[in-house]
């Protein structure tokens, strides 16, 4: 293991998967105890609701980075694998087509998608990189192995992203995460920007149990599409399901994931998750601000996220 504490997040957006290293350092599934990368959103320039860019368009990629308090300074590097080449465990297997460096929070890059002629056949774009958390920290890639470390003692997250291109008329759109939320049956709006314990908003008592968080999803977020099934592949009508990943900076969520199945025909569907507040010993006299992050994926490359906050009182 290098001097950088790593979590490896593999976002193969045609089939989402996660992996990580250094077992004792792995965060509890739904608890944000240190800086973590939770996902990526693809937007097409001029059509931010579309997650499938066409050859010749520009794609904007934004990475969701969450922290238990204020997000620390970030330094990041991404490389775009050359069309027609694959991605290995240490990055592109050939010389990258482009490199992007920055310190903005959240990390965001704009990628000119090659034309159909320049693609040479592949129907997806592959990106690989490292996000470092810590003042003055930037990724440094070993030229022999391709593995990254973070300078200045930063903590690193290796990220890779494979996203499909739209080659026909069938587009995939991003779902919408910020719809109606309730906490224990009471409307729970998005944060106003003020500190949760200094502003009006939900308050719960330390050690309280069985709070119910409910989020509403819309049927339009689960698009119908044509899937290719079997060998040889046969076109079959299909519909997306939604996966909602749930995270908190304190307390205990009863599940990391909620789902809305493809077979659900409702115009709207509400999903619920239980949450227990942290114990009194974890709550300072002025109260503890807790942030919840909800990441919605349609499991075909579309993603969106939103947050909610509350104050836990002693």
Task: Please write the tens of the pLDDT for every residue from 173-216.
Answer: 999 999 999 999 999 999 988 888 987 889 999 999 999 999 99
Residue 196's domain spans which residues?
A: 181-313
pTM tops 0.95, yes or no: no
Residue 293: pLDDT band (50, 70, 90) is very high
Q: 226 and 81, same structural domain?
A: no
Whether 10 and 153 map to the same domain: the answer is yes
Nearest to residue 172, comparing CAs of 227, 118, 103?
227
End-to-end CA distance of the chain: 41
In a domain, residue 215? The reply is yes
Q: Is there a single domain that holds both residue 159 and residue 260?
A: no
Is 169 within the bounds of a domain? no
The answer to whether residues 131 and 188 belong to one domain is: no
Whole-angstrom distance, CA of residue 41 vs CA of residue 63: 7
Asked whether 28 and 147 are in contact (CB, 8 A), the reply is no
Give CA–CA dist 58/53, Å, rounded: 7
**Residue 88 banded pLDDT, cuts 50, 70, 90:** low
Does residue 188 share a domain with residue 119? no
Same domain (yes/no): 160, 200: no
Q: What is the pLDDT of residue 234?
A: 94
- Residue 97 inside a domain? The answer is yes
CA dist., res. 205 & res. 62, Å (int): 35
For residues 172 and 23, the answer to whether their CB atoms sit within 8 Å is no
Higher pLDDT, 118 or 8: 118
The last residue of one of the domains, among 129, 164, 199, is 164
24 and 150, same domain (yes or no): yes
Q: What is the mean pLDDT of residues 258-276?
A: 97
Do 16 and 151 belong to one domain?
yes
Nearest to 309 by CA among 156, 165, 194, 170: 194
Give me the chain's average pLDDT, please.
Answer: 87
Tell me: pLDDT of 60 over 90.
yes
**Does 191 share its domain with 134?**
no
pLDDT range class, residue 85, cuts 50, 70, 90: low
Q: Are 227 and 299 in contact (CB under 8 A)?
A: no
Domain edge (last residue) among 105, 135, 164? 164
CB contact at 8 A, 190 and 178: yes
What distance in Å separates the CA atoms of residue 257 and residue 260, rounded to the nearest whole number? 10
Q: Of the given ranges (56-70, 132-146, 231-245, 265-279), which has the lowest mean pLDDT? A: 132-146
Tokens read off for 261: 């199945």
174, part of any domain: no
11 and 159 housed in the same domain: yes
pLDDT of residue 89: 59
Q: Is residue 80 part of a domain?
A: yes
- Within 8 A by CB and 6+ apart from 231, the residues are none
14 has pLDDT over 90: no
Distance CA 15, CA 162 (A): 10
pLDDT confidence of 300, banded at 50, 70, 90? very high
Tell me, what's the pLDDT at 86? 62
C-beta atoms surrounding 137 within 10 Å:
24
Q: How far apart are CA 310 and CA 277, in angstroms?
A: 10
CATH number at residue 263: 2.60.40.150
What distance in Å separates the CA atoms of residue 113 and residue 136, rounded to the nearest whole number? 31
**Contact in structure between 311 and 199 (CB atoms under 8 Å):** no
- Specify the pLDDT at position 146: 72
Confirm if 83 and 116 have CB atoms less than 8 A apart. Answer: no
pLDDT for 13 beyond 50? no
Q: Are residues 149 and 29 in the same domain?
A: yes
Give the pLDDT score at 190.
Answer: 94
Lowest-confidence region among 24-28, 65-69, 115-119, 245-249: 24-28
pLDDT at 274 over 70: yes
Counted domains in the chain? 2
Do residues 79 and 115 touch, judged by C-beta distance below 8 A?
no
Q: What percent of the chain is modeled with pLDDT above 90?
A: 69
Q: Could you check whether the bond before residue 95 is cis, i.e. omega within 30 degrees of 0?
A: no
Answer yes or no: is 172 within a domain: no
Of 136, 164, 192, which residue sits at a domain end?
164
pLDDT of the residue at 124:
81
């Amino acid at each position: 293991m290098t001097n950088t504490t790593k979590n490896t997040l593999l976002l193969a957006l045609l089939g989402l998967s996660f992996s990580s290293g250094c077992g004792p350092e792995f965060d509890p599934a739904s608890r944000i105890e240190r800086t973590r990368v939770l996902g990526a959103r693809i937007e097409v320039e001029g059509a931010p609701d579309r997650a499938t860019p066409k050859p010749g368009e520009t794609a904007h990629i934004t990475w969701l980075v969450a922290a238990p308090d204020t997000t620390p300074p970030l330094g990041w590097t991404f490389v775009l694998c050359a069309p027609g080449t694959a991605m290995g465990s240490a990055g592109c297997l050939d010389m990258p087509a482009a490199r992007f460096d920055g310190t903005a929070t959240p990390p965001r890059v704009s990628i000119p998608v090659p034309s159909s002629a320049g693609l040479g056949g592949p129907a997806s774009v592959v990106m690989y990189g490292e996000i470092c958390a810590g003042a003055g920290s930037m990724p440094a890639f070993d030229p022999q192995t391709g593995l990254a470390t973070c300078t200045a003692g930063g903590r690193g997250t290796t990220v890779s992203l494979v996203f499909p291109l739209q080659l026909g008329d069938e587009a995939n759109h991003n779902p919408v995460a910020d719809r109606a939320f309730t906490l224990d049956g009471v409307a729970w709006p998005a944060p106003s920007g003020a500190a949760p314990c200094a502003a009006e908003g939900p308050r719960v008592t330390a050690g309280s149990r069985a709070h119910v968080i409910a989020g509403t999803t819309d049927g339009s977020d689960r698009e119908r599409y044509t899937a290719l099934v079997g060998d040889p592949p046969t076109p079959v009508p299909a519909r997306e399901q939604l996966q909602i990943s749930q995270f908190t900076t304190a307390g205990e969520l009863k599940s990391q994931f909620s789902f809305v199945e493809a077979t659900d025909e409702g115009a709207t569907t509400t999903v619920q998750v239980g949450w227990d507040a942290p114990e009194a010993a974890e709550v300072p006299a002025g109260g503890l601000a807790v942030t919840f992050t909800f990441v919605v994926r349609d499991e075909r490359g579309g993603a969106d996220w939103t947050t909610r906050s509350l104050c836990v009182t002693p």
